[in-house]
Amino acid sequence: MTRWLDALDRKAGLRARAGLTRRLRPRAASDEVTDLAGNDYLGLSRHPRVIEAAAAALRRFGAGATGSRLVRGSTELHTALEAALADWLGTESALVYSSGYLANLGAVRALTQPATTLVTDAHNHASLVDGVRLTGRPPTITPHNDLPAVRAALAAAPTAPAVVVTESVFSVDGDLAPLAELHALGSAHDALLLVDDAHALGVLGPSGAGGVAAAGLAGAPDVVVTATLSKALGAAGGVIAGPAALIRHLIDTGRTFIYDTALPPATTAAALAALELARADDTGRAELAARATLAHARLTAAGLTAAPPAAGVVSVTAHGPAEAVAWAAACLDAGVAVGCFRPPTTPDPRSRLRLTINVGVPRHDFERALDVIVKTAPHPAPVS
């Protein structure tokens, strides 16, 4: 009766020997660590207007949404947030989900027909990977940002519709997809382009409208945008934005929308307040870009291998999984939290430290954090 538990123990042992054990590390509200691990790019999660908006909604609506969006979960706040997101992103319509993960699952499924060809980048986030898997369609996985491979995959597709699936700013290395070129390839083959804009929303584009807007594709009828509201907006939830007909289809048929309890009203209000702040915060975006450039320059000058940042993610190569864990732990011991990415989280065999820029961190603390990362780095420096 316990053989299944024995099997789990054996698997845990194998992961431990490979340096792939993961641990939960609860943090206190009074945590004084310099945070270069979270995704609060604009420092809005603790902005007084965001907190007050959430508190006011909590008093009005209570702790939870109490039901799915189609039962009792929709409030005037959800409608207002969807309207604001559509206006910001330049799309006809938008639909809010309880997480970005569920939004990606729902978007991929909604765009896939029985014979659809799915062309997906090898570095795509797990939520996009799982969305593709759930369709039951065998995907064509193209090498990272490889336009000739995408062109060949679309040319080889049958006459059935195709969907090109990508992130805008990739979550592990922080590099940017060639969205305009991907759109041109897709248009030439009557294919749709699905873009996860999670790490670009609030950071890139006019008024922070994201990577799709930065590429001049906002509102294009053959482009669908997804994003999470938990990064630059500092809240939680996800969104699918695109043509009104798609949103209607999702409301009628989307399982990850229909059967899921709605985003809590307090969180919805927080996201709406953060959106208004982010949209107007060009100064914060400029500071974020400057800090990302500074981080890359300091790390590479120290002999470390760091990918050039397109937005707020700076990825630094580590020797291996165990070395990445030890490096991240040394940083934390010195008061700096960084992301630690190892296989299978990474899209390739490389382990990395991932720094995410947060302009809510005082500048002197940020610069000290860079010193800590360099000082605790393994030597000799790892190469890609």
In the β-sheet with 117-121, what is the strand arrangement from edge to edge? Answer: 93-97, 238-242, 223-228, 192-196, 162-167, 117-121, 140-142
Q: Alpha helix locations (H) across the chain? A: 3-17, 48-61, 76-89, 100-110, 126-135, 147-156, 179-188, 211-214, 244-253, 255-258, 265-280, 282-301, 321-333, 363-375
pLDDT of residue 381: 59
pLDDT of residue 384: 53
Q: 108-133 as b/e, with b when 16 or more CB fall inside 10 Å?
A: bbbbbeeebbbbbbebbbebbbebbe
Mean pLDDT by 10 residues, the chain (384 residues): 89 88 82 94 97 98 97 98 98 98 98 95 97 96 98 89 97 96 96 98 98 98 98 98 98 98 98 98 96 97 94 95 93 96 85 96 97 89 56
pLDDT of residue 30: 78
In the chain, the amino acid numbered 222 is D
pLDDT of residue 383: 54
**DSSP-derived pairing of the beta strands 238-242 and 93-97:** antiparallel
pLDDT of residue 82: 98
Any idea what DSSP says for residue 230? S
In the β-sheet with 313-318, what is the strand arrangement from edge to edge? Answer: 34-36, 336-341, 351-356, 313-318
| Cα(122)–Cα(348) distance, integer angstroms | 9
pLDDT of residue 27: 82
In the chain, the amino acid numbered 39 is N
Domain positions in the chain: 32-45+282-375, 48-280
In 3D space, the residue among 267, 167, 243 whose CA is nearest the CA of residue 210 turns out to be 167
Say yes or no: domain 48-280 is CATH 3.40.640.10: yes
Q: What is each CA distance from 35 to 202, 214, 365, 366, in whole angstroms?
A: 19, 27, 10, 9
| Cα(128)–Cα(112) distance, integer angstroms | 13
Contact 42, 360 (CB under 8 A): yes
Helices and strands counted in the chain (H then E): 14, 11
Contact 133, 182 (CB under 8 A): no
Any idea what DSSP says for residue 276? H
pLDDT of residue 22: 82
In 3D space, the residue among 231, 228, 359 whose CA is nearest the CA of residue 295 turns out to be 359
pLDDT of residue 41: 98
Q: Which CATH superfamily is domain 32-45+282-375 in?
A: Aspartate Aminotransferase, domain 1 (3.90.1150.10)
The SS3 assignment for 194 reads strand
The tokens of 359 are what? 């302009």
